[in-house]
Amino acid sequence: MTDTAAPRFSLPSMSVLGPVIALIALVIAGALINSNFLSAANITNVLARSAFIGIIAVGMTFVITAGGLDLSVGSMAAFIAGLMILVMNAALPVMGVGVPIILLGMAVALVAGIIAGLINGLFVTALGIEAFIVTLGTMGIYRSLVMWLADGGTLSLDFELRTFYRPVYFDGILGISWPIIVFAICVIVGEILMSRARFGRHCAATGANEHVAHYSNVNVNRTRLLTYAMLGLLVGVATIMYVPRLGSASASTGLLWELEAIAAVIIGGTVLKGGFGRVWGTVIGVLILTLIDNILNLTDVVSPYLNGAIQGVIIILAVILQREAKAKG
């Protein structure tokens, strides 16, 4: 008679439970602080506002997992928004207000996003320049281009065109706005690519050790280039959702979006140095950051102007916790 070993069940690690516990704690705290926190209107507002950063953060997850970084996404969004508005206003006398001109603006945003992402990726892969240096440079370039296009002011959509375009942000299906729906689609596709597709495995292998990945028949440069192109595409998607909200773009558009996107990715458990990433964790990170901002706006305990400082502290703490977990492992 032989003994059969009982199956072992391991509890989820704190890297998994931590963000979930933090999210639950924030929801409880928000409900206790303000009775309107859990109202349908506030929840919808939180999800809609998180959609812009969330869409970008999905792409940032792949870039960081593959060992890269992109500091230019906020400035890139501002530039794409400004370019999109200029093209739509210029085409208005010929095309008139209607669906075709909206589709034209969307196409401009997507193409510009892909090109901008490819530029970053080519500098990193073909020229071998550090991603931090490349995207720090392009961050300044895109922000300056917006100021130049707007002549130091603000670029605004034609009033009739803006009115026609507004439903892309404010309308939706069954009470769920389009930004939330698009965010959900990006998350689902991103999670499938990261956890079930060869591309996600190649990203993790590239970020973990590019030399080993190369000898394992992974095209390291192509993988990294594709992550930057994907991120640029998603910046374009986020911009398409953002422009109808205000109908304008300026040098302050997208300010600190790169900080929020990176913070969301790191909070969600993706390793900053690459090698491991999870899209569902990024979603939790985005919600945590948005809830913090929402709670600060609903209470007078801490000034909402300190939101950026709080996000910076969260990034530092998340990296420290990752190092401690790695040391223990």
Q: Which amino acid is at 304?
A: P
Residue 157: per-residue pLDDT: 95
Q: Is the pTM of this model over 0.85?
A: yes
Question: Would you mind telling me the total number of residues written for the chain in this entry?
Answer: 329
Round to whole Å and give the CA distance between 324 and 49.
32
Give the residue-averaged pLDDT of 131-141: 96
Q: Which amino acid is at 242?
A: Y
Q: Quote the mean pLDDT of the chain.
A: 89
Give the residue-averaged pLDDT of 225-231: 98
Residue 264 confidence class, pLDDT cut points 50, 70, 90:
very high
The DSSP-derived string for 188-250 is: HHHHHHHHTSHHHHHHHHHHH-HHHHHHTT--HHHHHHHHHHHHHHHHHHHHHHHHHHHSEEE
Residue 306 confidence class, pLDDT cut points 50, 70, 90:
confident
Minimal CA–CA distance to 52: which of 183, 185, 187?
183
> What is the dihedral sign for C-alpha 299, 301, 305, 311?
negative
Token pair for 231: 């991120």
Give the residue-averaged pLDDT of 17-36: 86
Most confident of 16-30, 111-125, 171-185: 111-125
Segment among 65-79, 85-99, 244-258, 315-329 with least mean pLDDT: 315-329
| Cα separations in angstroms, 190 against 127, 184, 195 | 28, 10, 9
Residue 154 confidence class, pLDDT cut points 50, 70, 90:
very high
Beta-bridge partner residues of 154: 250
- Looking at residue 128, the DSSP 8-state letter turns out to be -
Residue 193: per-residue pLDDT: 96
Residue 20: per-residue pLDDT: 86
